[in-house]
Amino acid sequence: MPSLPARAPSALLLWAGSLLFVACSTGRAETPPASTTSTGVGASTGTSVASSSSSSSGAGGSGGTAPIEPAFESIPWEEGGEAGYGVAFKDAHNPRGENVFIGYAGYNITRAGACAWATELYKAVLRDKGVRYVYCVQGPADPLYSQYEIGNTKIGARLITQVGPKTKFALVLAHSSGSFVAHELFYQLTTESDPQGVTQGKIVYFNLDGGAGGLDQPIVQRLRKAYFVAAHDGVTVSPNYDGMAAAGQTYAAAGGFYDLDAAGSGCAVMAKWCVHMTLINTHPHDLANPSAADYTDFNGRPVARAFLDAKADEAGIVP
């Protein structure tokens, strides 16, 4: 079995309040970190909130009859437990397709925040693209993802039962340090979780101002497309702009670099962390610093999707 591609050293800068970190990590655990206390709505308690409408058996379930499409928000998220630590899942019963979405949030973002982002993306674009199976994943417990606590093995095990001939794509978006968590999933699928190659050539990946640690050519070649996205507002660039440009050059054949124009975001001059959040929310709440509200409040602040629209045809993101 190949060794996990090294994540250190990395030039990725991640945020925690007003502190910056240089990202590097090794090892894995996939259990709740002992130092993490999770409380409140969306906390990762490891409990399972299973819904009778959640299924991974294909359109119509075992009966073969397509279900009536319910309102997305009316379907409970399956959280923790069989979904995996830090993960929530729901079957939207979307009659338009059998496609998959996985959204990995950045450090300091709760599972509830990640799911609010996924919900907004579903309403804005994913529903019309035929996405049925939706996963949202909280940010890692530390910006280095050094504890490997997120339940990626359970995502992978479920994913290979959902991807099939009717699946046009499995879309993965990972913001900031959430990119490290996504790369762990790709590594697992490449080395152990998907020996039959069910997901090979199906995954379209957008790395949203994150890092490239944990990727290598065999992993990226297994994906259908890999895009490395940074943002600029005409004056200031996002903090991981250079790293995304470099990764885009390294993996140009897979998709390469995409430079998001965030000129209308309202970010203050030289507010790179505000620009960082334009990959999630087109009008960030804090015009100088990152804010977790950008994952949860999209009232008058449309969810970021320009990079998806730009690459949808090229990547085969179709119903």
193-242 confidence digits (pLDDT tens): 999 999 999 999 999 999 999 999 999 999 999 999 999 999 999 999 99
CA atoms within 13 A on the CB side of 70: 15
What pTM does this model have?
0.85
Domain enclosing residue 98, as ranges: 43-55+69-315
What CATH number corresponds to the domain at position 49? 3.40.50.1820
Handedness of CA 276, 155, 202, 135 (dihedral sign): negative
Q: Per the domain annotation, does 89 fall within a domain?
A: yes
Q: Tell whether 30 is covered by a domain.
A: no
Taking a C-beta distance cutoff of 8 angstroms, is the pair 228, 244 a contact? yes
Q: Supply the pLDDT for residue 68.
A: 83
Residue 159 has pLDDT above 90, yes or no: yes
Tell me what the pLDDT averaged over the chain comes to.
Answer: 86
18 is a domain residue: no
Asked whether residue 64 is domain-assigned, the answer is: no
Domain presence at residue 205: yes
pLDDT for 138: 98
Q: pLDDT tier at 19 (50, 70, 90 boundaries)? A: very low
The string of pLDDT tens digits covering residues 249-274 is 999 999 999 999 999 999 999 999 99
Residue 92 located in a structural domain: yes
Count of structural domains within the chain: 1
Here the contacts of 116-122 (C-beta below 8 Å, separation 24 or greater) are 116/295, 116/296, 117/280, 117/295, 117/296, 117/303, 119/72, 119/73, 120/298, 120/303, 121/173, 121/303, 121/305, 122/72, 122/92
Residue 23 maps to a domain: no
Q: How far apart are CA 199 and CA 263, in angstroms?
A: 36
Find the mean pLDDT for residues 281-301: 97
- The answer to whether residue 21 is domain-embedded is no
115-131 confidence digits (pLDDT tens): 999 999 999 999 999 99
